[in-house]
Every structure is written in structure tokens, then in C-alpha cells.
């Protein structure tokens, strides 16, 4: 007999999001969710643009985006002159990979937990250049972060030109020891492109101190800005080699007041810049949700997801799959195997049952390959501990 569903109150700030009230949304990690205050700011920017498009796009936008880069740079501890705004982290990865000149015999390291879209971009570049992709296997579950750094360093050699490494992995939710990896590879003369899609807002970032040649991250996830807002940060000595995916007016500009990097990246054609322009509002708004600002918010989300993970592991009767030090606001747990069916991508039968029968939106994904599967939970300010108890109860009912 099915037990009564666990219920409880939501945080007061949950009213700041327009998520469906009857749905337990435990999948912030896929696309984020934008608060009403930030959407309102975006609407005001859009109204301003449409009142006089020529004035706004031609005369006002550059300065407005400079302010965005300055505020975002302060938040990320990054040089504003090294930041360019892109639509998502996948675009940032493509921008770097397609700017660099690889040759036949060059090697590029990548782990088996790299986001599929970025792996596809790497395959595209390697096929055209003759470079060799070197896949590095990272286990999950795992006992220590050294299993990540050790595997990556063991695969590096004198022909390795670049490493494409996730900061927070999408399938397993692992926080990689990225500072250690970047420094150890740099000591061997190997630069790193960090896919930090999940990291801004989840982790306390200092991009200057990190020292990676290239770092890209989404703002629409844990920063909660509108979709279409992300950044690429390039270290000063690497900027001259990076060109945007779309070559536009900046390529032959005669201006001497800005770097070629900013001139080219700052305008790649007419589009809607309001998602980027709303980033400062998102940074400031999210800081108001906890008395201790961003630091407290990050720790609150982390603690909620760690407690949720513990409940799921107890329900599944499995050990904790990785150390707490490797968890941010995202965590995955292995679940019993399932033979693949006709459902489309990311529509595992269990995922469908949790959504349709229990009103819970949570991803179930094949990893490392079918029939093996993971279930991944997220935590954001609008979530509450009782929601993870309800998920644990639903798993007991379904598995």
C-alpha cells in the first residue's frame, strides 16, 4: 500500500519564482529557473531597447555591457577586460576550440564525464585538424578527488596541447579539484579549458587565482539570470588568439580604445542582449535571500543537497558515492539498471513515473552507458528539505 506523501512548507522566497506550485522542482541544474525580480529587470531593458532601438543598440549598449562585465568580473574575481559575454557555456567551449590551431598529432585530454555537447565540439575540431582526443576515465562512485587528478595527469604527455575539463560534471555532479588540475597541467606546459557551466553561483570562484587559460560558465543556472546569459573568460596572454564564432564588424575596426578581443566579442550581430544586461540584477537579488549573502546561500544549497543525497542513499540501501568535499548544489546517486525503452532522451521510465505519479521533476540519465543509470538532485533557494524526503519515499514506491 502506498504511503501518504510527505508534505511541508516552502521557503518564503519561493514566491519569487513562478514555478508550478503543484510540482516539486528538483532539477534546477538542467536549465536553472529565473526569479520574477530578474525577469522584471529584463523586461525593463527590453522596453528601453524597443523605445529607440538605434540609440540603444548603437549608442548605449556598449557602455551598458561594460558595466555588466565589471560587475560580473567582481563577482568572479576576474579581469573585466578578459570577459566576453556568450549565450551559454557550450558556445564558450566552441569559441575556444575553434579559435585554436591544432595540428596532426596534437593530443587533447577530456574525461568520460565531459558534457556531450562539448565532447561533440571537440570531435568536430579533432576531425578537421587531425588532433587526437585522449579520453580519461574517471570512476563514479569514487573515494577521493585524487582519483580524478591522478587519472588526468597520468594521461598527459609531451604531445598534449590542451585539456578540456569540467569544473562540476553534469551527469555525476562531482566538483573536480580544478585548481590542482590546472596547476599540475600548467607545470607540464599544458593549458586548460575549463567548462564551468554549473560553477558560477554554486561555488566561490576566483578566476584570476585559478589561472586557467580559458574558463566558461553559465549565469542562467545558479546565478539565476535569464536563459541566454553566460561568459567566457580568457587569461591575458591568450586573448589575442581567441576569435568569436561569428566574425562581424570588430574584425576590421580602426578603434584604438579597446582591445581586439573586446571589439570582436562585443558585437557579433543584432540580437537581444537583455539576458546579459540582467546579470547584475541576478547577482544582487540572489545575495538578498540569506542574511549572509552569497556565502550563506551557497552553503545552504550545498547542505540541502547533501542531506537529500543521504536520504536517497538510505532509501536505495547504497553507500554514499563520493566525499562531501566533491559536492556543491548538485548530487547524483546510482539507481538500479533499466533496459532502455523507446522513450526519448532524458525520459527514462522512472523519470516519467516520478513526474506523472508523484509530481516530482528530477532527471534520470544513463551513465556511464545503458542499462546503468543515475538520478540527480539539485538544490536552490526555493527548495525545502521535505521535498527530498518525498522523493526518497517515491523511490521506495517505484523501485
Same domain, 230 and 274: yes
Same domain, 75 and 170: yes
Burial tier of 301 (Cβ tally within 10 Å: 0-12, 13-18, 19+): buried
Same domain, 254 and 129: yes
Same domain, 257 and 330: no
Given this model, what pLDDT does residue 8 score? 81
Starting at the edge strand that comes first in sequence, how are the strands of the sheet with 364-366 ordered? 330-335, 373-378, 364-366
Residue 221, SS3? coil
Q: Of 388, 361, 366, 390, whose CA–CA distance to 30 is shortest?
A: 361
Instruction: Name the domain boundary from 268, 285, 302.
Output: 285
Given this model, what pLDDT does residue 2 score? 45
Same domain, 125 and 271: yes
CATH number of the structural domain spanning residue 111: 3.40.640.10
Instruction: Name the domain boundary from 218, 252, 285.
Output: 285
Q: Tell me, yes or no, whether 114 lies in a domain.
A: yes
Q: How many domains does the chain have?
A: 2
Same domain, 253 and 310: no
Given this model, what pLDDT does residue 341 score? 60
Which residues of the chain carry a pLDDT beneath 70?
1-6, 340-346
Same domain, 228 and 187: yes
Same domain, 145 and 125: yes
Q: Tell me, yes or no, whether 1 lies in a domain.
A: no
Per-residue pLDDT tens digits for 19-41: 999 999 999 999 999 999 999 99
Cis peptide before 157 (omega within 30 of 0): no
Q: Tell me, yes or no, whether 392 lies in a domain.
A: yes
Q: Tell me, yes or no, whether 171 lies in a domain.
A: yes
Per-residue pLDDT tens digits for 339-393: 766 555 557 999 999 999 999 999 999 999 889 999 999 999 999 999 999 999 9
Q: Tell me, yes or no, whether 373 lies in a domain.
A: yes
Same domain, 209 and 305: no
Same domain, 157 and 257: yes
Instruction: Name the domain boundary from 285, 309, 326.
Output: 285
CA angle 125, 164, 162 (to 5 degrees): 75
CA distance 200 to 224: 10
Q: Tell me, yes or no, whether 33 lies in a domain.
A: no
Same domain, 153 and 269: yes
Q: Tell me, yes or no, whether 5 lies in a domain.
A: no
CATH number of the structural domain spanning residue 300: 3.90.1150.10
DSSP letter for each residue of 142-176: -S-THHHHHHHHHH--TTEEEEEEESB-TTT-BB-
Same domain, 106 and 173: yes
Integer Rg of the chain from CA: 22
CA distance 68 to 55: 19
Range of the domain at 337: 12-26+293-398
Q: Tell me, yes or no, whether 31 lies in a domain.
A: no
Amino acid at each position: 500500500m502506498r504511503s501518504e506523501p510527505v508534505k511541508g512548507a516552502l521557503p518564503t522566497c519561493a514566491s519569487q519564482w513562478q514555478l508550478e506550485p503543484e510540482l516539486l522542482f528538483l532539477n534546477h541544474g538542467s536549465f536553472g529557473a529565473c526569479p520574477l525580480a530578474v525577469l522584471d529587470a529584463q523586461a525593463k531593458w527590453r522596453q528601453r531597447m524597443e523605445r529607440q532601438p538605434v540609440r540603444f543598440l548603437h549608442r548605449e549598449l556598449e557602455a551598458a555591457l561594460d558595466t555588466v562585465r565589471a560587475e560580473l568580473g567582481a563577482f568572479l574575481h576576474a579581469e573585466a577586460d578578459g570577459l566576453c559575454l556568450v549565450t551559454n557555456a557550450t558556445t564558450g567551449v566552441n569559441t575556444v576550440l575553434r579559435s585554436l590551431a591544432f595540428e596532426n598529432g596534437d593530443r587533447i585530454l577530456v574525461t568520460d564525464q565531459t558534457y556531450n555537447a562539448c565532447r561533440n565540439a571537440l570531435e568536430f575540431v579533432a576531425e578537421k585538424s587531425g588532433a587526437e582526443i585522449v579520453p580519461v576515465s574517471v570512476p563514479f562512485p569514487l573515494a577521493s578527488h585524487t582519483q580524478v587528478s591522478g587519472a588526468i595527469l597520468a594521461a598527459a604527455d609531451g604531445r598534449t596541447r590542451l585539456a578540456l575539463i569540467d569544473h562540476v560534471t553534469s551527469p555525476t555532479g562531482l566538483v573536480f579539484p580544478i585548481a590542482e588540475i590546472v596547476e599540475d597541467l600548467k607545470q607540464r606546459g599544458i593549458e586548460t579549458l575549463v567548462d564551468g557551466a554549473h560553477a558560477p553561483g554554486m561555488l566561490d570562484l576566483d578566476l584570476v587565482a585559478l589561472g586557467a587559460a580559458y574558463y566558461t560558465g553559465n549565469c542562467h543556472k545558479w546565478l539565476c539570470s535569464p536563459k541566454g546569459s553566460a561568459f567566457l573568460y580568457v587569461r591575458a596572454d591568450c586573448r589575442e588568439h581567441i576569435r568569436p564564432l561569428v566574425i562581424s564588424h570588430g574584425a576590421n575596426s580602426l578603434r584604438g580604445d579597446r582591445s581586439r578581443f573586446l571589439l570582436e566579442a562585443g558585437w557579433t550581430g543584432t540580437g537581444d542582449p537583455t539576458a546579459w544586461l540582467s546579470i547584475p540584477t541576478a547577482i544582487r537579488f540572489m545575495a538578498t535571500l540569506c542574511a549572509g549573502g552569497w556565502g550563506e546561500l551557497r552553503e545552504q544549497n550545498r547542505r540541502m543537497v547533501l542531506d537529500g543525497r543521504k536520504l536517497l542513499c538510505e532509501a536505495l540501501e547504497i553507500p554514499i558515492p563520493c566525499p562531501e568535499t566533491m559536492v556543491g548544489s548538485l548530487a547524483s546517486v546510482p539507481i538500479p539498471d533499466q533496459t532502455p525503452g523507446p522513450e526519448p532522451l532524458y525520459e527514462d521510465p522512472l523519470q516519467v513515473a516520478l513526474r506523472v505519479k508523484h509530481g516530482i521533476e528530477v532527471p534520470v540519465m544513463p551513465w556511464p552507458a545503458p542499462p546503468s543509470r543515475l538520478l540527480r538532485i539539485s538544490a536552490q533557494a526555493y527548495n525545502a528539505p521535505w521535498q527530498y524526503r518525498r522523493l526518497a519515499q517515491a523511490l521506495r514506491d517505484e523501485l
